[in-house]
Structure 1
Amino acid sequence: MPPTFSLPPSFLGGCTSDPNSATFCIAGIPFDLGVTNRSGAREAPYAVRRASRMLADGANPAGWTDPANIAIADIGDFSLALGDIPLSLEMIERQAGGIGHLLAIGGDHTVTLALLRALAKRTGPVGLIHFDAHIDTWPDNFGQPLAHGSPFFHAIEEGLVDPRRMIQIGIRSPMPRDVHDWTLARGVTIVTAEQVHLQGPEGVADAIRRVVGDGQTYFSFDIDAIDPGQAPGTGTPEVGGLFTWQVMAILRRLAGIDFVGMDVVEVAPAYDVSEITALAAASILWQYLTLQAPGKL
């Protein structure tokens, strides 16, 4: 194997680009029209792919599973409609609709709505594991109904997710009380960042398993769930967040959940330092894939 720094800039440095030969497909979604603070998440797919090469030289020692044992295709970036949020979401939904198990690199969190619309046409409502600093159930964002603060408001209203099987982890931002109460009233479980720190990864993983149960489940990770001291490259940072070791420890305890797709969103490389945010995002994708790898080495 060549040195990691010389691998091609696809995910893990060596994926095929043929979706027909793969069980899992990686796609970039360079969309950030829904950002309400600092833009730049459109640059994330390239940055996360580049950082992922650091993870291409071995198995996950926590269980000795290796993504190299499964067929992964990096199918490039989705097409978008420049400057048009509704049309871009339609295009994302259409492109995602033909893919079985998709791992998406955003882009801002608006894209998750389109991905869930595509998925729900095949599966019906799914459970949702949502890591974020923000609740993302605002009915609108400064008058804009489609933006990165509202994907799960629409997902619940449209019946794309089962809110009783939805858990949000890392929440800590300012928010209107009525938005918080509306979310809880729908049956969503909210685990704050402080609760993660106090309960530890085992307690949080147990809560996730209780909420999502045995049904099909989608995984959405906003990188700002992580504390900005460890992931500064994001558009809406919030202090007091999760540490990367906590995130990895929680994910390692989610093996066996019936995952049907995932995304990592809100990486904004222009605000990153030494690629640490991009590497965190790539590591979350890698950890997710190791949960799917068949058997141990």
Structure 2
Amino acid sequence: MAGIPTFATAPGFLGLAQRDGTASYAVAGIPLDIGTTNRAGTRDGPGAIRRASRMLVDGVHPQHWTNPQAMDVADVGEFAIALGDLAASLSLIEQQAAQHAHLVALGGEHSITLPLLRALAKRLGRPLGLLHFDAHLDTWETNFGQALAHGSVFWHALNEGLVDPRRMIQIGIRSPVDRETWDWTVAQGVTIITGQQAQEVGPAALAAQVTALLGDQPAYLTFDIDSLDPAFAPGTGTPEIGGLASWQAQAILRRLGGVDFVGMDVVEVAPAYDHAEITALAAATMAWEYLALQGLRSR
């Protein structure tokens, strides 16, 4: 397919025309992977997601009947990062995120969520609710001795008061974890749904639980692609078996029209390990589903 390689490129999209923060929704790539602890390569995630998103321009959403391509969306390109400096990169990301009212971020590794939450919490003046799809808790105080890494994102977010732990739910957790980190997370008030529990409960019940827990206050969605089983998303740095199928994650998201989401990211796509773009397509579809939800709320 020809055309400018923006997210879900189509005639209704603004493409690169509005970088000044005036678009209702900004899609930004954040090519960061210097905080990874296993396989690197997520710096190439944004480009892969954009390429795969071209599969999503043939029509409107088949359930909500909303049309993300007709919405006021601008692909603002890639955020700048500081080469080799994670702390400086996070500071730069926060500064750039603050320029956009509603951001859909394409990662990059999960560290990018921390500055995005910092920017949003400052703008709103209060902690956010959080829906977190992942195989990992990401609440380790340190990763291999490092205070900043993709597995410590929500340790910082909770300690900085960016997220209300009573309105934070993690879905798909199943990786090996030390008991101290697990117990600390639960003690904060976070709701953890393991991968096996998610399979047993099913999408409809999970969506109802998420909606009730997040309530009617602003919330953020962070979707780590390794929440999906490697059969559906092999292209990631830390794959864990026993995850959600693509359709299950999609079915949960499609039921969240009552949640006041104010931003989202999809992270940890590492195309070097992907097969036939199935991981990139899954990530692009989750972002597209999110935009379709936004269209539903704006009716």
Band the TM-score falls in, shorter-chain normalisation:
over 0.9
Shift of 1:209: 1.0
Name the CA distance, whole Å, in 2 between partners of 1:207 and 1:193. Answer: 15
**Unpaired segments of 5 or more residues in structure 2?**
none
What is the correspondence of 1:10-21 to structure 2 with a 5 Å cutoff?
Answer: 10-14=6-10, 15-16=13-14, 17=16, 18-19=18-19, 20-21=21-22
| Residue in structure 2 matching 1:218, options 217, 220, 238 | 220
| Partners of 2:110 and 2:224 within 8 A in 1 | yes
Match of residue 154 from structure 1: 156
Shift of 1:296: 10
Shift of 1:8: 2.3
Match of residue 39 from structure 1: 40
Shift of 1:21: 4.4
C-alpha spacing 1:167/1:295, structure 2 compared with 1 (3 Å): closer
Match of residue 252 from structure 2: 250
What is the correspondence of 1:68-147 to structure 2 with a 5 Å cutoff?
Answer: 68-123=69-124, 124-147=126-149
| Partners of 1:41 and 1:267 within 8 A in 2 | yes
Q: State TM-score, norm by structure 2.
A: 0.96
| Partners of 1:65 and 1:296 within 8 A in 2 | no
Shift of 1:7: 3.3
| Partners of 2:22 and 2:100 within 8 A in 1 | no
Name the CA distance, whole Å, in 1 between partners of 2:63 and 2:176. Answer: 36
| Partners of 1:67 and 1:286 within 8 A in 2 | yes
Displaced runs of 4+ in structure 1, greater than 3 A? 294-297
Q: In the alignment, residue 146 of structure 2 is paired with which amino acid? A: Q
Shift of 1:30: 0.2
Match of residue 210 from structure 2: 208
Name the CA distance, whole Å, in 2 between partners of 1:100 and 1:112. Answer: 16
Deviations 1:10-62 (A, max 9, x none): 10114322044421000000000010000000000100000001001111111
| Partners of 1:52 and 1:279 within 8 A in 2 | yes
Name the CA distance, whole Å, in 1 between partners of 2:9 and 2:211. Answer: 32
Shift of 1:98: 1.2
Match of residue 53 from structure 1: 54
| Partners of 1:65 and 1:293 within 8 A in 2 | yes
Name the CA distance, whole Å, in 2 between partners of 1:54 and 1:232. Answer: 19
Deviations 1:222-271 (A, max 9, x none): 00000001100000000000000001100000002101100000000000
Shift of 1:217: 0.1
Name the CA distance, whole Å, in 2 between partners of 1:210 and 1:257. Answer: 9
Shift of 1:6: 1.9
| Partners of 1:140 and 1:146 within 8 A in 2 | yes
Q: In the alignment, residue 11 of structure 1 is paired with which amino acid? A: F
State yes or no: 1:8 paired with 2:9: no
Q: State TM-score, norm by structure 1.
A: 0.96
Match of residue 188 from structure 2: 186
Name the CA distance, whole Å, in 2 between partners of 1:81 and 1:113. Answer: 16
Q: In the alignment, residue 4 of structure 2 is paired with which amino acid? A: P
| Partners of 1:134 and 1:172 within 8 A in 2 | yes
Name the CA distance, whole Å, in 1 between partners of 2:297 and 2:268. Answer: 32
Match of residue 281 from structure 1: 283
C-alpha spacing 1:192/1:295, structure 2 compared with 1 (3 Å): closer
Match of residue 269 from structure 1: 271
| Partners of 1:106 and 1:266 within 8 A in 2 | yes
Count, aligned residues: 293
SS in 1 for 2:28: strand
SS in 1 for 2:217: coil
Q: In the alignment, residue 251 of structure 2 is paired with which amino acid? A: A
| Partners of 2:60 and 2:66 within 8 A in 1 | yes
| Partners of 2:31 and 2:45 within 8 A in 1 | yes
**Unpaired segments of 5 or more residues in structure 1?**
none
Name the CA distance, whole Å, in 2 between partners of 1:90 and 1:240. Answer: 35
Q: In the alignment, residue 217 of structure 2 is paired with which amino acid? A: G
